[in-house]
Amino acid sequence: MTCEHCEIPGEGCAYPYYGLAPHTHVGDRLIGSTKLKPKAEWPDNFCEDGEVPGCGIYTHCPECGAPDADQQPESDDG
């Protein structure tokens, strides 16, 4: 089951997906203004890629847990 936060109409759940770690943009432009948030602020549903620091997998929806939270990969942090 999915929710309004993770449903892609006609396709299903948006999770899991690979992307940039939680971040913000500094200034008026997007390109070249990315600043990663401190790891302590990263959500539980983000698992950093051990080979590509600053990128990783958003494993499940923080609202509804889709896809099944029992099948999510564990973080390298333990």
| 2 located within any domain | no
Domain that holds residue 17: 7-68
| 75 located within any domain | no
pLDDT reported for residue 45: 96
Please write the tens of the pLDDT for every residue from 36-67: 999 999 999 999 999 999 999 999 999 999 99
DSSP state of 38: P
Largest CA distance in the chain: 40
pLDDT greater at residue 48 or residue 72: 48
| 34 located within any domain | yes
Looking at 1-78, list the stretches that DSSP marks H as alpha helix, in order from N- to C-terminal side: none
Q: How confident is the model at residue 78 (pLDDT cuts 50, 70, 90)?
A: very low
Please write the tens of the pLDDT for every residue from 20-36: 999 999 988 888 899 99
Q: How many domains does the chain have?
A: 1
Q: Residue written as tokens 């299903």? A: 12
Note if the pTM is more than 0.85: no
**Nearest-CA neighbor of 35 among 49, 25, 48, 21?**
25
